[in-house]
Amino acid sequence: MKWTRIRIKTITDAEDIIISELYDLGLEGAQIEDKIPLTAWEKEQMFVDIPPQPQEDDGIAYLSFFVEEDSDIDIKQMIADVKESLAQIRTWCDIGEGSITVDETEDLDWINNWKQYFHQFYIDDLLVIPSWEEVKAEDDGKMVLHIDPGTAFGTGMHETTQLCIRQLKKYITPDTKLLDVGTGSGILAILSIMFGADSAVGTDLDPCAVEAVKENMESNHIPEDKFTMMIGNIITDKEVQDKVGYECYDIVVANILADVLVPLTPVIVHQMKKGGIYITSGIINDKEQTVRDAVTAAGLEIVEVTYQGEWVSITAKRP
């Protein structure tokens, strides 16, 4: 299988902004190349052997987005849309050169290539471990999440996922019925059940999430009747909304980008019980106020805002 690669030359300070904005065009899963030195934590958690840093950080970054050759995307139109989007971003943000190159690349074994980078790590007292590693003797008795990187995001490494996990631990009870919007690999719903929730429902747009969720449920011994998976757009599809159900969830969690949370929030409030908790993340810090406004406009009361790195989590309650 061949892929078209759209590669953008920019600056490191603009990486997250460009990735967030191009998400709206349908470009996801950016590959980032820069010379920012890894922190000690990253070296320990992500790599087996670290090659010497070849050059000092020059502030330059390359963002690559891949489009499958057989997809329905019109590449010429996509490139034109990317150029227009970069031009708009440039009016309010320095993006450096902002040049675009397009080429083709052969299919890569991306999932197996993850094995040289992804190793067990902790989220507070939770151990996250891939299938190709074993739990060490000193970790016996700890809560362990078994999860592998795959076609759907969600290994627990990203700050937004960790923000959501910490909030879930605060609010889950044995009676909790949870809805995970944009469930991906199912990590948040699976952990919610491990934390003691009664049951969970997950929705996602990507059919690949079904298999990822199934595999991760099996790896973590989650009973099939505890976690139900649905594919569809809960924002626009009334059939999906009906299937998910109304006013029946104690917690709704949505680890999605801010631009998706804005239209999602006034819809999802109807799935929440009165007094229900709404946990959001995927919010880059400069879009915090945008999501705050959407949450309050939907009639929800903000009860807590937490931060990690450049990312924000907003927790709200339905009166």
Tens digits of residue pLDDT in 87-102: 999 999 999 999 999 9
pLDDT the model gives residue 132: 82
What integer pLDDT is reported at residue 42 of this predicted model? 46
User: 110 or 240, which is more confident?
Assistant: 240
pTM of the model: 0.67
pLDDT in tens, 34-51: 887 655 444 333 333 334
Query: What is the rounded average pLDDT of the residues 152-176?
Result: 87
* Residue 196 amino acid letter: G
154 vs 271 pLDDT, higher one: 271
Residue 280: exposure state from Cβ atoms within 10 A (0-12, 13-18, ≥19): buried
* 92 closest CA partner among 32, 19, 12, 14: 14
Strands 121-123 and 126-129: antiparallel
Q: How sure is the predictor about 169, in pLDDT bands with cuts at 50, 70 and 90?
A: very high
- Amino acid at site 178: L
Residue 250: predicted pLDDT? 98
- pLDDT tens, position by position, 61-77: 999 998 887 788 888 99
Q: What is the mean pLDDT of residues 223-244?
A: 96
pLDDT of residue 249: 98
- Please state, in angstroms and rounded to a whole number, the distance separating the CA atoms of residues 257 and 260: 5
Query: pLDDT over 90 for what percent of the chain?
Result: 58
Share the mean pLDDT of the chain: 87
> Pick from 34, 37, 63: which is nearest to 50 by CA?
37
Nearest to 164 by CA among 185, 148, 180, 142: 180
Average pLDDT rounded to a whole number, residues 290-302: 97
Tell me the average pLDDT across 250-276.
96
pLDDT band at 263 (very low <50, low <70, confident <90, very high): very high
